[in-house]
Structure 1
Amino acid sequence: MARRCEICGKGPMFGHQISHAHNVSRRVFYPNVHKIRVVVDGEVVRKTVCTKCMKAGKVQKA
């Protein structure tokens, strides 16, 4: 599953994982995306949508 929202385009972000001893390593923050059935132009299609778009009402669930 692609880790990108098909509505807003939100994708993975990069940052650092820092331990208590301040050892720094790279890490990835993935968006919370789900495959849901969405109504688009009267048709039901499957899209990968982040939970923020679902909560904001940017998509209509089938």
Structure 2
Amino acid sequence: MAKMCDKCGKKPQSGNNVSHANNKSKRRFKPNLFSVRTQLPSGEVQTITVCSRCLRSGEVVKPKAKNAI
């Protein structure tokens, strides 16, 4: 599974860890990803990987819950 959002395409970025003595070593900033069940416009339910920003902004439509009767 790629560390990438299926909606916006957000993926890991690179940067530096910087110590108090200003020593630098490489690191990765990973996106906050979740596996979420979503309902496509065709009505099909599918599991996709999305970042927290896409989830919070409402870009993902969650499926309706089944009746528990």
Superposition CA RMSD, Å: 0.8
Question: Which residue does the alignment assign to 2:26?
Answer: 26
SS at match of 2:59: coil
Using the size of structure 1 for normalisation, the TM-score is 0.94
Using the size of structure 2 for normalisation, the TM-score is 0.85
- Which structure has greater strand proportion? 1
Amino acid at match of 2:25: S
Identity of aligned residues (%): 45
Structure 1: gaps (5+ residues): none
**Aligned structure 1 segments of 4 or more residues deviating by more than 6 angstroms:** none
Question: Which residue does the alignment assign to 1:47?
Answer: 48
Residue-pair matches, total: 62
